[in-house]
Amino acid sequence: MSITFDKVDHLYGKGTSFEKMALKNVSFHIRDGEFVGIIGHTGSGKSTLIQHMNGLLKCTGGNIYYDGKDISDKEYDRKKLRQNVGIVFQYPEHQLFEATVGKDVAFGPNNLGIPGLQAEVRTYEALRSVGIDDSLLDVSPFDLSGGQKRRVAIAGVLAMKPKVLVLDEPAAGLDPVGRRDILDMIAGIRREENITVILVSHSMEDVAEYVDRIMVMNDGELAMDGPVGEVFAHRRELEEMGLSVPQISLLMKDLEDAGIIKDTGIYTMEEAVRVLSKRLLEGSGQSTYNTTP
Amino acid sequence: MIRDITIGQYYPSESVIHRLDARIKFIGTIGYVIALFLFDTFWGFLPALFWLGTIIVLSRIPLRFIAKGLKPVLFLLIFLALFNLFLTPGQTIFEWWIFNITDKGLENAGFMALRLMFLVIGSSMMTYTTTPSQLTAGMESIFKPLGVFKVPVHEVAMMMSIALRFIPILLEETDKIMKAQQARGADFESGNIFRRAKALIPVLVPLFVSAFRRAGELAEAMEARCYHGGKGRTKLHPLKMKGRDYVGLALIIGFVVAMGFVP
């Protein structure tokens, strides 16, 4: 399902001293099945942007199309839109409220009017895809660990079977292992369900490894939009926006400048390992560089 | 939206009223409230309007923002006006079925509604123009004499300013939770009053959980900075009366006394 923003503006607090242009002339098109990362500094308009995608915020200028239809149309079915575009907000565990994990996850399907048994099946499926064991179905969500709570909250959105999944800083506040686990899980869900995923983050490192395309927000404007390698090539501009490229790509750039490797635009650890080991093997036939004794 | 609630908020701006000593503004507010109860004819609203209007103009706060502050009391305002309208005995001027409007009722309804509006706007002016920390310092200083009667003045003032400070935080939190639940298909806008009340459970439960969490975190943060109540506590910005504060005080006294002479 495609999302199109056409010259979208958003003005907060019109006519007060809090007035702020949160989005300025933002235009882009996200195709079906894409894995997109939205990156930006705190207050760059990322969160405002995603709230437009399911109609929680209305743009004050421009148009937004979902599947070619203008979502600000009076006849547009906004409930359907919220089902199709699932948004997982920052710290989603703060929205848990039900007495049991199962009931909380079923909240979304119930709101959509999905019959009991089918809602139950969806609850099971959603919990399984986030890696929560069935034995926790009847446990209070408030008794779970932080990481588990977040997974349950994500399952709450997945149970609505969205075609586009938007996640705002899904790894915020987790330890490195937890971050990796959650992001791997999201990538896995994307593969299995074959849905569009939009990952919002301020951390390049998190996003680089997973997404295919990066959109950089700066001060309410869409500053860059393109494939990961292309965006990371603009290191200086990114640094001016208070963003940095991943550590590994800095190292690889230095190696490239020193003439040791020829590959450019490397930003994931796996790729770096592959390139470097290839380089080591071909670099010389001497056994000192050989990785296998 | 819920973020539109402006009651008890601070509106940052540069103005004489903003710079005025918090104690003067507090005394001024109390004086103004007393003055509003000193008259019982419509004539009294003229000087009150002049006083309030001058303060609003001086404070440089947009009228729209002030008008928004009336929104939460709108229901109370209508309720009060209707009760006065229908339940005051007097000369009947309009009659239909069981409804009976009297001249006195009409007068009372208008008078009460106006007075409530003046009360809400006037007392909001203090919080619009005073930061919570100034407000605490001001109240603490004014009520210090009560300490003789073992009233924990500092603690009460601190609690009040924390409560005020938390209004915007909790409103923002409510907004966030509502959005998160709306993203899961929750509907707060349709259905009868019972349905709507029930629809608020998914908002209220997380809100209470987060309020308690925040309270705990704040208490820990305060303890970590060695907060131990008011005893022996000094101030970074001690309150100091300046020339304009004395002028303000004189004007306030003048206003209240003058209002006493209004029929």
Read off the CATH number of the domain in which A102 is found. 3.40.50.300
Q: Which amino acid is residue A140, in one-letter code?
A: S
Phi and psi angles of residue B96, each rounded to the nearest 5 degrees, phi first: -155, 125
Kindly tell me if the per-residue pLDDT of A15 is higher than 70: no
Number of domains chain A is built from? 2
Establish if A238 belongs to a structural domain. no
Q: Could you tell me if A137 and A165 lie in one domain?
A: yes
pLDDT band at A290 (very low <50, low <70, confident <90, very high): very low
Is B13–A108 a contact, with Cβ atoms under 8 angstroms apart?
no
Residue in chain A lying closest to B213 (CA): A94
**% of chain A at pLDDT higher than 90:** 44
CA of A107 to nearest chain B CA: how many angstroms apart? 7
Q: Could you tell me if A52 and A80 lie in one domain?
A: yes
Cβ neighbours of residue A234 closer than 8 Å, sequence gap 6 or more? A224
Residue in chain B lying closest to A51 (CA): B179
Structure confidence by residue, pLDDT tens digits, A192-219: 989 999 999 887 777 888 899 999 999 9
Q: Using the Cα atoms of residue A201, residue A204, residue A207 and residue A211 in order, give the sign of their dihedral.
A: positive
Contact criterion met (CB below 8 Å) for A61 and A8? yes
Q: Could you tell me if A224 and A259 lie in one domain?
A: no
Q: Could you tell me if A223 and A280 lie in one domain?
A: no
Per-residue confidence (pLDDT) for residue A286, from 0 to 100: 47
> Which of B15, B184, B201 has the highest number of chain A CBs within 10 A, making it the mutation to test binding with A?
B184
Q: Could you tell me if A75 and A192 lie in one domain?
A: yes
A253 touches B at CB < 8 Å: no
Kindly tell me if the per-residue pLDDT of A289 is higher than 90: no
Binning chain A into helix, strand and coil, the percentages to the nearest 5 are 45, 20, 35
Residue in chain A lying closest to B11 (CA): A17
Partner residue facing A97 (CB), from B11, B65, B205: B205
Beta bridge pairs of residue B15: none
Contact criterion met (CB below 8 Å) for A149 and A140? no
pLDDT band at A14 (very low <50, low <70, confident <90, very high): confident
Per-residue confidence (pLDDT) for residue A5, from 0 to 100: 92
Out of A205, A233, A261, a domain closes at A233
Establish if A212 belongs to a structural domain. yes
Is B11–A17 a contact, with Cβ atoms under 8 angstroms apart?
yes
pLDDT band at A249 (very low <50, low <70, confident <90, very high): confident
Low-confidence ranges of chain B (pLDDT < 50): 1
| B→A interface, C-beta within 8 Å | 11-13, 62, 64-65, 176-177, 179-187, 201-203, 205-206, 209-210
Establish if A254 belongs to a structural domain. yes
Q: Could you tell me if A229 and A265 lie in one domain?
A: no
Out of A233, A256, A272, a domain closes at A233
Contact criterion met (CB below 8 Å) for A214 and A231? yes
Q: Could you tell me if A257 and A164 lie in one domain?
A: no
Beta bridge pairs of residue A61: A9
Is A94–B209 a contact, with Cβ atoms under 8 angstroms apart?
yes
Q: Could you tell me if A250 and A227 lie in one domain?
A: no
Q: Could you tell me if A121 and A38 lie in one domain?
A: yes
Is A51–B179 a contact, with Cβ atoms under 8 angstroms apart?
yes
Establish if A239 belongs to a structural domain. no
Per-residue confidence (pLDDT) for residue B4, from 0 to 100: 62
Q: Could you tell me if A208 and A266 lie in one domain?
A: no
Establish if A143 belongs to a structural domain. yes
Out of A207, A233, A259, a domain closes at A233
Is B183–A89 a contact, with Cβ atoms under 8 angstroms apart?
yes
Q: Could you tell me if A15 and A152 lie in one domain?
A: yes
Mapping DSSP to helix (H, G, I), strand (E, B) and coil, where does residue A137 land? coil
Cβ neighbours of residue A242 closer than 8 Å, sequence gap 6 or more? A41
Among candidate residues A192, A227, A210, A185, the one with its CA nearest the CA of residue A270: A210
Establish if A240 belongs to a structural domain. no
Is B182–A82 a contact, with Cβ atoms under 8 angstroms apart?
yes
Which residues span the domain enclosing A27?
A: 3-233
Is B177–A142 a contact, with Cβ atoms under 8 angstroms apart?
no
Is B206–A94 a contact, with Cβ atoms under 8 angstroms apart?
yes
Establish if A275 belongs to a structural domain. yes
Q: Could you tell me if A267 and A213 lie in one domain?
A: no
Per-residue confidence (pLDDT) for residue B229, from 0 to 100: 80
Per-residue confidence (pLDDT) for residue A26, from 0 to 100: 92
Establish if A150 belongs to a structural domain. yes
Is B184–A157 a contact, with Cβ atoms under 8 angstroms apart?
yes
